[in-house]
Structure 1
Amino acid sequence: SRVDRHLLKFCACCALFLFAATRKAFSFNLASFEEVTQEASWPLKLDQIIIHQQVELLEAILGTETSSKYEIKNHLGQRVYFAVEENGCFDRQLCSPIRSFTIRIVDNTGREVIRVIRPLRCNSCWFPCFLQELEVQSPPGTIAGYVVQNWDPFLPKFTIQNQSKEDVLKVIGPCATCGCFDDVDFEVKALNEMTTIGKISKYWSGFVNNIFTNTANFGIQVPVDLDVRIKAVMIGACFLIDLMFFENSLDGL
C-alpha cells in the first residue's frame, strides 16, 4: 500500500542517516587514534601527554599502599594507554618511595607497547654513588632510553638518555616540591641547562585527594617533533618523579 511504501522510505532514510552519523563518528575517533599512534603505538604527534593516577579504594580507606594504575591521555582527554605497576607487597609497604617496579603500558587493544623498569636504588643526595636510574623499553624488549638521576645538593636533576646511553635532555625540578595548593613544574631543558623546551607538571589535585590518597595528575609538554622513543622515556621520567617526590607527600596542606 501507499502507507507501507512511505514507511519503508522513511525507515530507509533513517538507516542512511544513522549509517552516515556512525561513519562520521568512527572516522573522527580513528583520526584521533591515528594521531597518537603508529605501528609501535608510540605517541607520534603528541606534544602534550596527560597522566592520571586512579584512586584505589583500599588505599583511600586504610592507607595501605597498593599497586599504582594510570590512565595516559592525549590533549583532548582521550585515553590512549593504560599503565599498571607490578611489584611485591613488601616493596610497596617498606620501600614505598624507592621501591623497585615494572610498569607495563598497554594500548586500547590490550597490547603492551612500553615497559618501564626501576631497580631498587638510593634516593638521597647524600649517597650519590647509587642514585636513581630507570630503563624504558618500547616496544618491550627493545631499549628506548634511560632516566638517570644527577647528584645536586639543592635541585632535583635528571638526564634523559637514548638507547645508547647518550645524553639527550635534562629535567630540572624546583628546590621545594611540596606544591601547597599549586602545581609543581619540572622543566625539560637542553643539555646546556639554559634553553627550556618543555616541562613535566604535577597538578594539584585538591586537599582531600592529596591528604587521603597518593593519587596524582601529571602533564608532559614536549616539542611535537621530539623523537618518539624519547617521548616514551619522558613518560617513564614522570613515573619516577611521582614515586620520588609525591608518593608520601602532603602537598595538599
Structure 2
Amino acid sequence: MLQDDGVRNLQYDSDLRIAQQPRVEPALYQEQTVITSVPRSNQVRIPLPVSTVEFSSQVGQNRTCVPLTGLDILVDMPSVHIEQTFELNENLTSIASENRYTIRSPLREALFAATESSEAKHRMLWGSSRPFQMHLLDRTHQEALVLRKKFAMGLMCCQPRYLEVWVPPGDLLGRIVETFSVLSSEFTIQNANREIIYEVEGPNTIGCCMPKEAFFKLFTPGVRALKGSITRVWSKDVSQYTTNVYFADRELSAKTKALFIGAAFLLEYMYFQ
C-alpha cells in the first residue's frame, strides 16, 4: 500500500486535489460514554461520489452501472489517456525522480492519479529498467490499482520483463510478460493463473529503435480478434506525448481494462522513458 509520505508528495492536478483526512488516535474513555457514531474500519472503502465520474452522452453511450469505488470507473469507459507530470527539478538537474501520471477519460476528466514508488539507487543504476510500484489512486484518495515491476535484464539475458497488476488489498489480476520476437515488440497478457488471455503486438521494428509515436494492437490469441489498442502520440492540447488506451469491445470487464492499462505502463517504461 502507498505510504503516508508517498500520499503527501503525490502531485495531483486541479481535478484530483482532495483534502487529506487527519489521523485520529483511538480514544480511551474512563467512564460510561454514549457513542453517537460507529467508527469506520480501515478495510472499508469510501464510496466514490457519482457526481465526480458522470459520463456524458457526448461519447455516444450512457453508463450501465453506478461507479462507486476503484475499478468501477472503468466499466463504461471507451478509452483512457495517460499524461505524465514532469517535474522542474528533474529537467534542470537530469536526476531521475519517481514518475507521476494523470489518467483521464475521453472528456479529459481526471480518473486516477498514478505515482511511482522506487529507490533512488535503482533509478540511478538501472534507469527505465528499474523495479518499481505504481499506485493508482481514485478521486477519494484510495488505491484502485497497484502495478508492480521487478528488475529483469530482458530476453537477451533470459529474464523477460513483466509487470503485475494488483487490486488492493492483495488480489492479483494478472501479468503482462515480454515474449521473444526478432523484429517486433510482442507481449502476452496473462490472468492470475498465468494463462494467456490476450496478446500485444507492436511495430515491426527492433525494440531499441522504437519510434516516438507508436501503435500497439491487443487481441485474443488464435482467432486474433482485436480487443483494444495502445497508441503513443503527440498531443497538441497538452504539448507532450500521451499514451492512449482504446477498448474496442464494449463488453470488456473493468479488470480486463485494468490489465490493458498495466500493459500501457510497461510499454511506457520499456520504450519511451
**TM-score bracket, shorter-length normalisation:** 0.7 to 0.9
Distance 1:205 1:58 in 2: 23
The 5-angstrom pairing of residues 16-27 of structure 1 reads none
Compare relative contact order (CA 8 Å, sep 6+) and give the higher one, 1 or 2.
1
Q: Structure 1's 193 and 154: CA in aligned 2 closer, same or farther, altered over 3 A?
A: farther
Among all aligned residue pairs of Structure 1 and Structure 2, give the percentage whose two residues are the same amino acid.
24
Aligned position for 2:183: 154
SS in 2 for 1:146: strand
The 5-angstrom pairing of residues 190-209 of structure 1 reads 190-192=220-222, 194-204=224-234
2:111 equivalent to 1:88: no
Relative to the length of structure 2, the TM-score reads 0.71
Unaligned runs of 5+ in 1: 1-25, 210-214, 248-253
Alignment length (residue pairs): 211
Aligned position for 2:195: 166
Q: Which has the higher helix share?
A: 1
Distance 1:63 1:37 in 2: 40
Distance 1:157 1:240 in 2: 12
Answer with 1 or 2: which has the greater Rg: 1
Distance 1:159 1:197 in 2: 13
Task: Identify the match of residue 110 of structure 2 among 79, 89, 110.
Answer: 79
2:267 equivalent to 1:241: yes
Cα root mean square deviation, aligned? 2.4
Aligned position for 2:139: 108
Aligned position for 1:31: 54
Q: Structure 1's 112 and 173: CA in aligned 2 closer, same or farther, altered over 3 A?
A: same
Q: Structure 1's 30 and 96: CA in aligned 2 closer, same or farther, altered over 3 A?
A: closer
Unaligned runs of 5+ in 2: 1-48, 57-61
Relative to the length of structure 1, the TM-score reads 0.76
Distance 1:179 1:205 in 2: 16
Distance 2:161 2:234 in 1: 25
Distance 2:135 2:125 in 1: 22
1:84 deviates by: 0.3
1:29 deviates by: 4.6
1:38 deviates by: 4.0
Task: Identify the match of residue 217 of structure 1 among 218, 224, 242.
Answer: 242
Question: What stretches of structure 1 move > 6 A for 4+ residues in a row?
Answer: none
